Homo-oligomer: A and B are copies of this chain.
Amino acid sequence: MSEKIQQDIYPSMMISSQNKAEKIAPIKLGERLKEIRKSLNLTLEEASQKTGLARSTLSKIENEQISPTFQAMQKLTTGLEIDLPQLFTTPKQVTATGRRDITRNEEGKAHPTSTYEHELLATQLTNKKMMPFKSKVRARDFNDYSDWIRHDGEEFLLILAGEITFFSEFYEPVNLQQGDSVYYDANMGHMLISISEQDALILWVTAS
């Protein structure tokens, strides 16, 4: 009795976005936990002591035989003194000094939604101060959107192609064309629609 359960997650510091069941490189929570534990040089027994979860439970989580409850995940994060997002993101080697990540055109990590088609950039690097991604904006209709998008931090966007109307909470809407850019407080409600013939292409960079 050791069937693997479905337990993937989509990598995303992604903002207001959607992750339907799309083909995005999934991360195994169990593997990730094992990595973390190993990196801390802990045995299951030691991890058990620190987290208050049974040795057997930890083993089962690592081998993806069970799906931990939120409570268990909290015990994990507090016990091992890590942040929750760390459980969901794969940190490809982060050398102490210099890190670099190149993303070729159109080769970012896809993250499609109904109205946007996000392409996450520099996904190899974790713990970044900024989160850059490109989006194709398909929507040309308000109805495609439910409400303001709102999240922590600041956001910069640059129109790479097409034309959009950018809405934000305390301002009048503006039209933005190729080459135009906006910088704004992302806690302020914001959203945009494409008004060009083809999909608009946009670069976003977020920092919190």
Residue of A70, A154, A208 with most partner-chain B CB within 10 A: A70
Copies in the assembly, this chain: 2
- Is the beta-carbon distance between B152 and A94 smaller than 8 angstroms? no
- Is the beta-carbon distance between B88 and A151 smaller than 8 angstroms? no
Known: A85-B85, A205-B156. A99 touches B13 (CB 8 A): no
- Chain B residues lying within 8 Å of A102, measured Cβ to Cβ, are 166, 174, 176, 180-182
Taken residue by residue from 27 to 40, chain A's Cβ proximity to chain B (1 for < 8 Å, 0 otherwise) reads as 00100000000011
Residue of A89, A121, A176, A183 with most partner-chain B CB within 10 A: A183
Say yes or no for A191: interface residue by CB 8 A criterion.
Answer: no
Chain A interface main SS type: loop
A residues 140-163 touching B (CB-CB < 8 Å):
146-147, 150-154, 156, 158, 160
Select one of B14, B72, B105, B183 contacting A132, CB under 8 A. Answer: B183
Select one of B82, B129, B183 contacting A101, CB under 8 A. Answer: B183
Say yes or no for A4: interface residue by CB 8 A criterion.
Answer: no
- Chain B residues lying within 8 Å of A156, measured Cβ to Cβ, are 121-122, 130, 132, 205
Select one of B19, B121, B181, B207 contacting A77, CB under 8 A. Answer: B19
Interface size class of A (residues with CB under 8 A): 35 or more
Select one of B20, B70, B86 contacting A73, CB under 8 A. Answer: B70
- Is the beta-carbon distance between B113 and A81 smaller than 8 angstroms? yes
- Is the beta-carbon distance between B152 and A89 smaller than 8 angstroms? yes
A71 to B5, CA, bound (A): 9
A59 to B153, CA, bound (A): 31
- Is the beta-carbon distance between B83 and A18 smaller than 8 angstroms? yes
Q: Which 7 A-B pairs have the closest CB atoms?
A: A105-B179, A98-B188, A18-B81, A122-B183, A100-B184, A67-B71, A16-B127
Q: Give the interface of A toward B (CB within 8 A).
A: 5-10, 12-21, 29, 39-41, 67-74, 77-78, 81-86, 88-89, 91-106, 113, 121-122, 125, 127-130, 132, 146-147, 150-154, 156, 158, 160, 166, 168-171, 174, 176-185, 187-189, 203, 205, 207-208
